[in-house]
Homo-oligomer: A and B are copies of this chain.
Amino acid sequence: MKKPLIGVLGGMGPLATVDFLNKLIEETPAETDQEHVPVVVWSVPQIPDRQKALDGSGESPLPALYEGIDRLIGAGATRIAIACNTAHFWFDALSAHSTVPLLHIAEAAVARLKMNVSPPASVGLLATRGTLASGIYQARLAQEGFDCLSNTGEEIDILFKPGCYSVKRGEVAAGGYLFERAAGALATRGAARLILACTEVPIALERIRSRYLPICIDTNRALAAACVDYWRAAAR
């Protein structure tokens, strides 16, 4: 049997990948190097912009995502985690393409949400238009009996999207203040919990020590925890 090995499809962006790897370490109970989760990481950011592809202004990232999956499997990955919410728009195509199972970030996040709060609480989604359009969170939340809130198109355009590109430029705190405004809008409308459904968001809110962190579900951390669960079960 092949040794269990997590493949991380990253680079979207590079900082979110590093944040994911850091949380993978934090979520692993380990005393020595050897007890940590083995990973192979494909962090090749030369992949068409996901938000632009979904709003029709850029080419599809799908061929580049397929290549990443192929390289990870070639290197021996037995499970693949995609450290980007927006890329989950293409999850079904990637799953069909891959010969090893993919872990789903929304499934991991909703599992973590349920440890924190019970339905019928209102849950706010901090996400790109692409992630919202894909419905990966709304369907799972509705199924569990949660109400779902998201930012208006205007809030996304003037707060959320510029926040993402700030983080990608390395202006992490500036991104954090924009995300915090978007988070505040959802909290004001009654969200009891906020799902940070874009991997750039937790990095930026942590940087500014946002007041909303205590009610946030970090999807990057939830995906990391799902990887640890897989590995601990498989390595036994």
A25 neighbours in B (Cβ, 8 Å) = 14-15, 18, 170
Q: Are the C-beta atoms of B43 and A38 separated by less than 8 Å?
A: yes
Q: Chain B's nearest CB lies how many Å from the CB of A42?
A: 6
Are B43 and A42 closer than 8 Å at their CB atoms? no
Q: Nearest B residue to A50 by beta-carbon distance?
A: B33
Instruction: Work out how many copies of this chain go into the complex.
Output: 2
Docked-complex contact B12 and A33, CB < 8 angstroms: yes
* Interface bin, chain A: 35 or more
Among the listed stretches A68-76, A182-190, A207-215, which one makes contact with chain B, having 4 or more residues with CB under 8 Å of it? A68-76
- Cross-interface CB contact of A169 among B31, B42, B46, cutoff 8 Å: B31
Query: Given the known A-B contacts A5-B44, A40-B43, are A21 and B17 also in contact in the complex, defined by CB atoms under 8 Å?
Result: yes
Chain B, Cβ-Cβ closest to A235: B46
Q: Is the CB of B45 within 8 A of A33?
A: yes
Is A11 located at the chain interface by the 8 A CB criterion?
A: yes
Contacts A11-B33, A34-B45, A39-B44 aside, 20 further interface pairs with beta carbons under 8 A come to A5-B44, A11-B38, A14-B36, A15-B22, A15-B25, A17-B21, A18-B18, A18-B22, A21-B21, A30-B169, A31-B168, A32-B169, A33-B47, A34-B46, A34-B49, A39-B41, A40-B41, A41-B41, A42-B75, A74-B74
Residue positions of A touching B, CB distance < 8 A: 5, 11-15, 17-18, 21-22, 24-25, 30-47, 49, 71-72, 74-76, 165, 168-170
User: Can you give 7 contacting A-B residue pairs, CB < 8 Å?
Assistant: A32-B165, A32-B169, A33-B45, A39-B41, A40-B44, A42-B75, A74-B74
